[in-house]
Amino acid sequence: MKIAVGSDHAGVELKKFVLSWLEKHCYDFEDMGPYSAESVDYPDYGHKVAEAVARGDFDQGILMCGTGIGISIAANKVKGVRAANVCNPEYAALARQHNDANVLAFGARFNDDSSAAKILESWFASEFEGGRHQRRVDKIEFCC
C-alpha cells in the first residue's frame, strides 16, 4: 500500500506525526509537502496528492489543513478521487466501508497526535464493503 501525504502550513506539524505513524506501521509513503511552516495555499497540495492517487502512483492519500475542509474540497475536484474530511475514528471507518474513500483528510486544528493516531488506525483497519455501496459510489462520478 503506497500512501501520498500532503498538507498546508496549518497541517505541517501534524503531518510529521502522520509520517512517523506510517513509518512505524511499515507503510510505503511519500511526503508531498510542504516542507516548512511557511504559508502556502491548500489547493496546491490537495491537488498534488489527489492527482498522484488518480494517476495510480499511490493507492491512497492523506491530507491535512486547519480544518480538513479546504484541502478535501480541492482534492475532490480531481476525477476518481473520493476525499473524506473525517472528524473521528467512526467517520474514518465509515468513509472506507461505505464510500470507498481513497483520500483521508482531517483538521490539524482539531486533532492532536493521539486523536490522529486513532483516526489512522480506524482508516487502515477498515475495508470497502461493496454491494449496495458500490452502486452509490459508481453514481458519484455521473452528474450533469
- Binding site for D-ribulose 5-phosphate: which residues? 8-9, 66-70, 99, 109, 132, 136
Closer of 40 and 93 to ligand RB5 (Cβ): 40
Distance CA 70, CA 90 (A): 21
- Residues at the interface with ligand RB5 (CB under 6 A): 8, 10, 42, 65-67, 69-70
The minimum distance between CB 91 and ligand RB5, in angstroms, equals 17
Helix, strand or coil for residue 3? strand
By the 8 A CB rule, do 85 and 106 touch?
yes
Query: In what order do the strands lie in the sheet containing 60-65?
Result: 28-31, 2-7, 60-65, 103-107, 83-85
Shortest CB 38 distance to ligand RB5, Å: 12
Q: Tell me whether residue 112 or residue 127 sits nearer to ligand RB5 (CB atom).
A: 112
